[in-house]
Structure 1
Amino acid sequence: MLRSLFRKWRESRNASLQLDAILAAADPDALLADRNQWLIELAYWLRRDGNLDAGAEAGGAGSRSFPVHVRLRYLLQVLARHPDWADSFARTVRSIVRDNDPTSLFCDTGVASHPGIWSEMADRLQARFLPPPPNRSDMAGLFALLFVDENDADWVEALDDELVERFAQALLVGAEDGADGGAEEGDGVKRLRKAREATLTASIQVLVSQVRATGLSQAIRSRLRGRVDETPFFRLDRAVAALCEDGLAHDDGAFVHRLNYFRGLLDGCHAAARQVYEDLEENGVSVEVVFQIERMKARLARIDLLLTAWVDPSHHGRHAHLIAELIRSTQARRSVGHLMSSSFAQLARKVVERSAESGEHYITRDRKEYRELMRAAMGGGLVTVLTVYLKFLIYGLHLDKFIEGFLASLNYAGSFLAIHFAHFTLATKQPAMTGPALAHRLDGAGRPEGREIFVDDTIAMIRSNAAAIFGNLSVVFPVALAIEWGVGKAFGAHLLTPAKAIATIESFSILGPTPLYAIFTGVLLWLSSLIAGWADNWFALHRVHDVMAYNRRLRYVLGQRGAMRLADFWKRNLSGITANVSLGFLLGLGPEILSFFGPHMEVRHVTLSTGSIGAAIGVLGLDALRMPSLWLAVAGIALMGVLNVAVSFALAFNMALRSRNLRRVDRREVVRAVRQRILRHPLSLLIPPRKAPDSAPEGSPSL
C-alpha cells in the first residue's frame, strides 16, 4: 500500500485529468477555491506529456517549438466545436480574473515584500516549501500555483500574435450579452477593457508610491546630492496623478507630454540609484541599502512594463511579454540565491577591491621590488621561528582543547601582527590578495595590449609568490634547526623530546591527511582576507575615521592632532590588523570548533610546518636523513605549499570574477599567451627584469 501511495505521489507531479473532463467541470458560479483549482488543473494539462489527436496539428504551424503551443491550439479547436463548453470556459476564466485581486500580481510579484533582507530571506525559504493556498482572492498566489515549470515564461513569450488573438477571443465569448453582469447589456467587452485599464493605472500608482517612499527614506536621501524637493522621487506622485487623470485619451497631445515627463522622472530615479551606488563605492557598502535599491529598481522596471502595456493595449505581443516577465518574477521570488547574489554582490565587490589594493603591494615587477620582497619574506620567516617554538610549548602543556586553541590563536595572531608592523611578509597570505588584483587585469584581456598586461602580471605574481615562499623557508628552516641544535649542545637537553620530533615528522607525510589539511588551511587563509575586506568596508561605511577624529573626549585626552593621528592609524592599519588577528584565530580555534561539530581537522601551514621540521631535525641530528618518513614529510610540505597557495588564490580569484561580473574572455587565448611567455622566457618565473615593464600600473607600491 505504501508503495502504491508513493507511486501515485510521484506521478501526481505531472498528471492531470483529460481535457473533456476539465472543460465539463467549468463552473463560473462555483466557490473561488474550486475555480482556482480548476484553472490549475487546466495548466497542468497544457504542460502534460503525450501525443494529441491528429487534429491538434491543424491550423498554424508557426508555433511548433513548444509542445504547450500545440495543446493550446487543440484546446481552442475543441472550444470552437463545443459552444456550450466555450461559454462556460470563458465565463469561468473571467470570473477568476474578476474575483482575484490583480494588484498583488502587478505590484508585489517578484518584488521583495519585507523591508529587510533577513526577513525577506526567511520568507523566501518558507515559500520554497509552503505554496500559497488556492482559496485566497490573490492573483499573485494563483500565478505561483499555475506556472511551476521553469520553461513556462519561455513558451508564453514565444506565443505568436495569431494564437494570442484567438485565445483572447475565446475568453470574450458571451461577454457582449452582459453574461458577467453589470449595469448595461451588450457592453461587456468595453467594460472588461475599462476594468483592465483601471487595474493597470491603479497598479502603476501603487508602485509609484512605493518607489517614492524608498527614494525619500533616510538611507537613500542622505546619499543623494541636492535638496529633497529637487529629487525625481519628490515629483513622482504629482506626475503619475496627472498622467492617470480621468477622461484623458491616449492620443491626446497633453497625455503624450505628461507621459514623456513621467518617463523622464523614471529615468531620473534610475540615475539617482546609480548615484547611491557611487556613494556606496566610495564610502562603504551597506547590504540593507543595496537591498532597498535593488527592490526599488525592480519596481521601476515593473512600472515600465505596466506602462508599456497600458499605453498600447492593442499590441498583444507586449501583453505576452508582460505575463512572461511576471512568471519569471514569480519563480525568482522563490529563489534565495537570487536574493543573496543581488544584495551581496556590491559588498563582495567592495571587499574584493580592498583585497586587490593590498594585492598590488605583493606583486614585484623589477629587481628592486624583488629584493625588498625577499628581505621582507626572510624577516617573516625569522619571526615565524618564535611562533613554531611557542606552538610546541603550548601543545606540550596538554591543556583542554579549547584552551590550547585559544592560546595557539594568541600565538599566531601576535606573530602575524609582529610581521605586519615590522613590514615583513608571510608568503601564504599573498595569494588571497594577489588573486583579486590579477582578476582586475582581465577587464582588458580581450585586446592584445590588455592581454600583454595580464601576462606580465601573471608572471610577476607567480614569481612574487615563489620568492616569498623561498624567503620564508630559507630562514625558518635553518634558524629553527640551529636553535634546537644549539640548545642541545649548550644544555645537553632539547626543547623537544625525540618521540615528539619523530611524531612531528610523521604527521607531515604526504601519504597521510596532510593534503586535505593543507586545502583546509588554504580556505582559512582566504577567509581571513574576506574578514579584512569586510572590516575595512565597515570602517568606511560608518565613517569611523571622522567619528574618532572629532570625538570630544579623544580630543580632550590626545589633543586635536593626536586624535587625528589615532584616526589615521586605524584607517591605515584596520584591514591589516583584522586580517592578521582573524587568521590567527582561524588557524588556532578553527580546527577545534570544526572538529567539535564535524570531521577532525588540523592546520598545515607551509612556513610553520617547515620550521617544525627544522626543529625536529635539530633534535634527531643527521640520523633523521636516513628516515623514510622525513622524505615523505618533505614531499608533504612541498605539496602543502602548493595547496596553501593554490586554494586561497583560486577562491579569491573566482570571487573577484563573480563580484565584478567581468565579461567572458577567450580563456584559450589567455592561457596560450601565458604559456608562450613561460616557454620563451622561463627564467622570468625566477628572475625579475631590471626595470618594470611599461604595462605595470602607475604608482604600484613596493614593499
Structure 2
Amino acid sequence: MFDSLKRFIKKWRASRDGGHQLDALLAIADQSAPYPERSEWLIELAHWIRRGRTVQPGALDAGNLGAEPAASRSPAAHKRIRYLLHVLDRNPAWKVNVAGTLRALLRESDGLSLLCDAGMPVHSGFFGALFERIEASLIPPAPNRRDLTAIVTLMFKSERDADWIATLPADLLIRIHALFDYAAHEDQPRESTPFSLDLLAALHNLTCQISSTGLSQTVRSRLGGADDAGDSGTHDASDVRVAMEKQPFYRLTRAMLAVEAAHHAFETGAPQDQLLREVNYLRLLLDDCRAATDNVFAHLYRNGVSVDIVFQVERMRMRIARAENLLNAWMAHDDPHASARLTAELVRANHASQSVAYLMRSNFSLLARKVVEYSADTGEHYIARDRAEYLKMLRMAAGGGLVTVVTVCVKFAITGAHLQAMLEGVLAGINYAASFLLMHFLHFSLATKQPAMTAPTLARELDGVGTPAGVDSFVSSVTALMRTQAAAVLGNVLLVFPVCLGVQLLWHVLFHADIISPQKAHATLVSFSLLGPTPFYAALTGVLLWSSSLLAGWADNWFVLHRVADALAYNRRLRLTLGAAAANRLAHWCRSNVAGVVGNVTLGLMLGLVPAIVSALAFSFEVRHVTLSAGSIGIALGVLGESALKWPELWWAVAGVASMAILNVTVSFALAFYMAVKSRDLRRNAVRSLRGAIWQRVRRHPLELVWPAKTSREAG
C-alpha cells in the first residue's frame, strides 16, 4: 500500500488537471490503512487545497455551483474545499473512507502538544531557541509520529493558511463538521469525540502551568502585595498567607477541577447550570490572572527589567490567552466558526514557534523592553518644551562646547606623540571619557549624546497614540526634540569653533609655536572633507553614540533590579563609617548618576578604542563627531591663517562637519527609536500615520523647529 501510494503521488503531482488529481487522491483513501499512510494522504490532500489555482467550474455540475454565487468571490482554498465536498457527495464510497480516515487520525493522534505548546516559547535563551528552530527546519517531522503538531506542520507550510481557515464561510464549516460524522459507527458517537476530551485535558494542563508560574517566587514577589524597592520588606506571616489565598493563580487549579467535575456531572444527566457557573468563574479567574501579569510588568518597569522574568510572564500571558481560546471553543462546540478560529490560531501559533524571523523579532522586543524604560527617564531632561528650557539647553550646550575645547587640544597632543595605535586609542578614550564625565557633573550637554537618550522618551508616549490627544502630544514632543537637537548642536559648535581658534592664536602669541604643524592642519581639513569617507565615518559614530545609550540603560536597569541602592543604604560598614544619613545620600547619588557615568565612560572609551580595533582588524575607521571636528577645524584655521579661507579644502571640511551633525544625530536617534518602537510592538501603519502627522505639523508651524511657541504659563 505504501509503495503504491508513493507511485500514485508521483503521477498525481505530474498531472495538470486539478479535478483528476482530486479524484485519484480520494479514490485511494483507506480508513483501515496504517497510520503513516493515512497521515501522508491527509498531508497531500491539504497541499491540493492550498494550491493557488482554482478548479475549473465545469468539473462540477453547473447547477450546483450556480446555487452558490458567493463562492466566486472566495479564496482559492475555499473553492477547492467546496469542490472537494461536492465530489464526496457524488461518491458515497469515497466519502465513507475519507470520513473514517479523518476520525481515525483525530482519535489516534496526540493533540495536547498542539493545543498547549504550539507557539509557546520554550527557551528563554536566544541561541538555544535559534538552534532548535534551525534543526527543525532542516529535519521536518515525520508523518508517523502520531502527533497533531507534526501533521499540522506538514499540512500548512505558510502562516497565510491561517487567514483562509479563519474566514471559511458558515455553510462550508457545517458541511466539514458533517463530514467528520458521516457513516460513523454506533460505538463512536459524537459525544465521545476524543478532540473534545483533548480540549478539556489541554485546559487542565494550561491552568496548572499558569498557576505554577504565577505562584513562583519570581512572579509572586512582584505582585501588588510584594514590597517594592525602598520598602522595609517586613510583612507578617499571616498577611502573606492571606494574600496568597487571594491570588487568582492560587484558585485557578481548583476552579479547573470544579469545571471538570461539573462536566462529568453534566455528561451523566445533571443540569447544565452548574457547568455554566463553574466555567464563568474560571473565565473570571483567567481575567484576574491577566490583570496580575500587568501588575508584574508595572513592577518591572519601576524596579528593573529582567529578560528571564519578562520571558516567563510573557509566556504565562500567552498561556492565559490560549486557555481562553480553548475554553471558548470547548463551550461553543455547536458553533462552527469557533472551531475555525481556534484552528487558525493554532496554525498561526505553530508557524510562529518554528519561524526564525519570529524568534528574532520577539527576542529583540525583550531586549528593547529591558533598556528602553530607564533610558526614557534620563532622556526627558534633554527635551526643551518651552522657551525657558530652550534657553537653558543653549547654555548647557555652550558649556559642553567649552569643555570640548580642552578635549580637542589634548587629542592633538596625544596624536602628536605618534604612539602605537592601540595605546593612542586608549589615551584618546580616557581623554574623551574624562571630558564627558566633566560635562555630566557640571550639567553641560554634548549634542550628539542626546538623540539616543531621548528616543526612548518618545517611545513612552507611544502608549497614548491611540487617541487624537495622544498623537498630538507625541508630535509636540518630536517637534520639541528636533528643536532641542538643533539648539544643542548650534550651542556646541558656535562656542567650540571660535574658542579653539582663539586658543591657537593665543598659543602662537605666547609661545611662538602652533598646537599642530601646518602639514597636520592641512591634513585635518582634507580628512574632514565631504567628498571623502566622512559621511560613512559619521554614520558609524552615530552607531557608537547609540550603543553607549544601550549600555547606560542596561547599567541603570541592573542597578535598580538588584537593588544596589538599598544594599548601599543599609550596608553596615558604610553606616558605621559615614552614618545612616550619609549612607542614604551616597545611595541616592549612585542611583542618580549610574546611567550617566556608565554611558559617558563607555562612549569615551568606544570613541577612542573602536577606531583602533576596527582599523587593525577590518577597514580604516576614524571618529567623526561634529563638536570635536568643529573644534579641530578652528585650530587648523588658526594655524593656516587667513589664506585658508580661499582654499576649497576648508569649505569642503565645513560641509563635512555639517554632514556629521546630521548623521550623528539621525543615525543614533533612528536606531534608538527603532528599538523603542519594537519594544511597544507598534505596527508599520501606525508608524506611517505618525510620520504623516509630524510632517503636517512641520508644514503648518515651521518656526517651531527653531524657536518654541509661548506656553500658557509664559503668556500669563
Q: Which residue identity lines up with residue 626 of structure 1 in the other structure?
A: K
Q: Which residue identity lines up with residue 538 of structure 1 in the other structure?
A: W
Structure 2 residue aligned with 1:418: 438
Structure 2 residue aligned with 1:120: 129
Q: Which residue identity lines up with residue 230 of structure 1 in the other structure?
A: K
1:156 aligns with 2:140: no
Structure 1 residue aligned with 2:317, among 294, 297, 304? 297
1:650 aligns with 2:670: yes
Shift of 1:367: 5.0
Kept after mapping to 2: 8 A contact 1:287/1:344: no
Structure 2 residue aligned with 1:231, among 227, 230, 247? 247
Structure 2 CA distance for partners of 1:547 and 1:127, relative to 1, 3 Å: farther
Structure 1 CA distance for aligned equivalents of residues 124 and 397 of structure 2: 49
Structure 2 CA distance for aligned equivalents of residues 364 and 295 of structure 1: 40
SS at match of 2:264: coil
Structure 2 CA distance for aligned equivalents of residues 467 and 247 of structure 1: 72
Q: Where do 1:211-360 residues align within 5 Å?
A: 211-224=210-223, 225=225, 227-245=243-261, 247-249=264-266, 251-339=271-359, 341-342=361-362, 345=365, 348-349=368-369, 351-360=371-380
Percent of residue pairs bearing the same amino acid type: 48
Q: Unaligned 5+ residue runs, structure 2?
A: 1-9, 226-239
Q: Where do 1:353-432 residues align within 5 Å?
A: 353-365=373-385, 368-432=388-452
Q: Which residue identity lines up with residue 93 of structure 1 in the other structure?
A: L
Structure 2 residue aligned with 1:481: 501
Structure 2 residue aligned with 1:171, among 150, 169, 180? 180
Structure 2 CA distance for partners of 1:86 and 1:440, relative to 1, 3 Å: closer
1:100 aligns with 2:124: no
Structure 1 residue aligned with 2:203: 204
Structure 2 residue aligned with 1:3: none
Structure 1 CA distance for aligned equivalents of residues 480 and 258 of structure 2: 62
Shift of 1:561: 2.6
Structure 1 CA distance for aligned equivalents of residues 543 and 676 of structure 2: 15
Shift of 1:138: 1.4
Kept after mapping to 2: 8 A contact 1:456/1:695: no
Shift of 1:532: 1.4
SS at match of 1:262: helix
Shift of 1:582: 1.8
Structure 2 residue aligned with 1:68, among 67, 77, 94? 77
Q: Where do 1:615-626 residues align within 5 Å?
A: 615-626=635-646
Kept after mapping to 1: 8 A contact 2:383/2:481: yes
SS at match of 2:529: coil
What are the superposed Cα offsets for residues 429-488 of structure 1, whole Å, 9 maximum, x if unpaired? 223334444555666778787677666655544443333223222332223223333333
Structure 2 CA distance for aligned equivalents of residues 300 and 329 of structure 1: 14
Q: Which residue identity lines up with residue 112 of structure 1 in the other structure?
A: P
Kept after mapping to 1: 8 A contact 2:471/2:690: no
Kept after mapping to 1: 8 A contact 2:551/2:602: yes
Q: Where do 1:447-486 residues align within 5 Å?
A: 457-458=477-478, 460-486=480-506
What are the superposed Cα offsets for residues 59-115 of structure 1, whole Å, 9 maximum, x if unpaired? 434344111111112222222333332232222222222222111111111112346
Structure 1 residue aligned with 2:679: 659
Shift of 1:325: 0.8
Q: Larger deviation: 638-647 or 66-75? A: 638-647
Taking structure 2 as the reference length, the TM-score comes to 0.86
Shift of 1:603: 1.4
Kept after mapping to 2: 8 A contact 1:455/1:674: no
Taking structure 1 as the reference length, the TM-score comes to 0.88
Structure 2 residue aligned with 1:573, among 587, 593, 596? 593
Structure 2 CA distance for partners of 1:197 and 1:366, relative to 1, 3 Å: closer
Structure 1 residue aligned with 2:233: none
Q: Larger deviation: 614-623 or 287-296? A: 614-623
What are the superposed Cα offsets for residues 308-365 of structure 1, whole Å, 9 maximum, x if unpaired? 2222311111111111111111111123454455565466356434334333323335
Structure 2 CA distance for partners of 1:116 and 1:426, relative to 1, 3 Å: closer
Structure 1 CA distance for aligned equivalents of residues 69 and 468 of structure 2: 48
Structure 2 CA distance for partners of 1:204 and 1:430, relative to 1, 3 Å: same
Structure 2 CA distance for aligned equivalents of residues 389 and 145 of structure 1: 67
Kept after mapping to 2: 8 A contact 1:451/1:670: no
Q: Larger deviation: 419-428 or 375-384? A: 375-384
Q: Where do 1:32-71 residues align within 5 Å?
A: 32-53=35-56, 54-56=58-60, 58-59=64-65, 60-64=68-72, 65-71=74-80
Structure 2 residue aligned with 1:187: 187
Structure 2 CA distance for aligned equivalents of residues 33 and 95 of structure 1: 12
Q: Which residue identity lines up with residue 127 of structure 1 in the other structure?
A: A
1:671 aligns with 2:695: yes
What are the superposed Cα offsets for residues 547-600 of structure 1, whole Å, 9 maximum, x if unpaired? 111122333443323322221111010111122112112222233444455443
Q: Which residue identity lines up with residue 59 of structure 2 in the other structure?
A: G
Shift of 1:542: 1.5
SS at match of 1:429: helix
Q: Where do 1:493-504 residues align within 5 Å?
A: 493-504=513-524
Structure 2 CA distance for partners of 1:479 and 1:200, relative to 1, 3 Å: same
Structure 2 CA distance for partners of 1:254 and 1:451, relative to 1, 3 Å: closer
How many residues are matched?
Answer: 671
Structure 2 CA distance for partners of 1:208 and 1:356, relative to 1, 3 Å: closer
SS at match of 1:148: coil
Kept after mapping to 1: 8 A contact 2:478/2:694: no
Q: Which residue identity lines up with residue 525 of structure 1 in the other structure?
A: L
Structure 2 CA distance for partners of 1:107 and 1:397, relative to 1, 3 Å: same
SS at match of 1:636: helix
Shift of 1:622: 2.2
Q: Which residue identity lines up with residue 89 of structure 1 in the other structure?
A: V
Q: Unaligned 5+ residue runs, structure 1?
A: 1-7, 177-185, 697-703
Shift of 1:654: 4.1
Q: Which residue identity lines up with residue 146 of structure 1 in the other structure?
A: M
Shift of 1:546: 0.6
Q: Larger deviation: 56-65 or 221-230? A: 56-65
Structure 2 CA distance for partners of 1:31 and 1:234, relative to 1, 3 Å: same
Q: Where do 1:480-629 residues align within 5 Å?
A: 480-595=500-615, 598-629=618-649
Structure 1 CA distance for aligned equivalents of residues 538 and 124 of structure 2: 42
Structure 2 CA distance for aligned equivalents of residues 593 and 357 of structure 1: 33
Structure 2 CA distance for aligned equivalents of residues 446 and 644 of structure 1: 31
Shift of 1:129: 4.2
Structure 1 segments, 4+ long, off by >6 Å, are: 14-17, 442-452
Kept after mapping to 2: 8 A contact 1:161/1:316: yes
Kept after mapping to 2: 8 A contact 1:519/1:647: yes
SS at match of 2:266: coil
Structure 2 residue aligned with 1:24, among 6, 19, 27? 27
Kept after mapping to 1: 8 A contact 2:53/2:76: no
Structure 2 CA distance for partners of 1:634 and 1:567, relative to 1, 3 Å: same
Structure 2 CA distance for aligned equivalents of residues 516 and 333 of structure 1: 38
What are the superposed Cα offsets for residues 1-37 of structure 1, whole Å, 9 maximum, x if unpaired? xxxxxxx9xx99x999922332233333444333322
Structure 2 CA distance for aligned equivalents of residues 499 and 489 of structure 1: 20
Structure 2 CA distance for aligned equivalents of residues 114 and 688 of structure 1: 49
